[in-house]
Amino acid sequence: MAAIVWTEALSVKVKLIDDQHKKLIDMINDFYDSINKHSNDELILNLINGMKNYTVMHFSTEEKYMLQYKYPHYEQHKIEHQNFVAKVNEFEKKVKSGKVIVSYEITSFLKDWLKNHIQNTDKQYTDFFIKHGIE
C-alpha cells in the first residue's frame, strides 16, 4: 500500500512541476516500502539522500520561476523549502549516527509535509505561474 497517492487535487497545473511532485511521491512510496521490508540502513540512507537531492533540484525549479517572474511570496516559499531540507538533513544525520531507527514517523513527516506544502503553499502560485505562461 502506498504512503501517498497522486490525485488531481495535488496538481498545480504546471506539467513540469506536477511531474516532479509525482516523482517525489514515488520516492516517498519507495522509502515507505523499504521500511515495510525492514531494509538495511545503507539502503534507507541511499533513499533519503536521493530524496534530498531530488527535492533540492525540484525546489530550484520552483524558485527559478519565482525569481524570473518576481513571485511576491518567494521569500516565504524559499524558507519552507530550506526548513524541509534542514529536517531531512537532520533525519539523515540521526540515521547515520544510529540515534534514530528509521520509522513510519519519518515517512509520515515526508508524506504530510509534501501534501500540505503542495496543497497550501504551491497552489498559491498556480494562477501566477499560468498568468506568466508557465504550463
End-to-end CA gap in the chain: 31
**74-105, pLDDT tens digit by residue?**
999 999 999 999 998 888 888 788 766 666 77
pLDDT for res 102:
62
Distance CA(113)–CA(132), nearest Å, equals: 27
| Alpha helices (H) in 11-134, listed in sequence order | 15-36, 41-68, 74-97, 104-116, 126-131
Residue 61 has pLDDT above 70, yes or no: yes
Segments making up each domain of the chain, as ranges = 22-28+40-131
Q: What is the 3-state secondary structure (H, E, C) of 28-59?
A: HHHHHHHHHCCCCHHHHHHHHHHHHHHHHHHH
pLDDT for res 80:
96
Domain over 22-28+40-131 is classified CATH 3.90.230.10: no
Distance CA(14)–CA(8), nearest Å, equals: 12
- Cβ(31)–Cβ(44) under 8 Å? yes
The predicted model gives 54-58 an average pLDDT of: 96
pTM of the model: 0.91
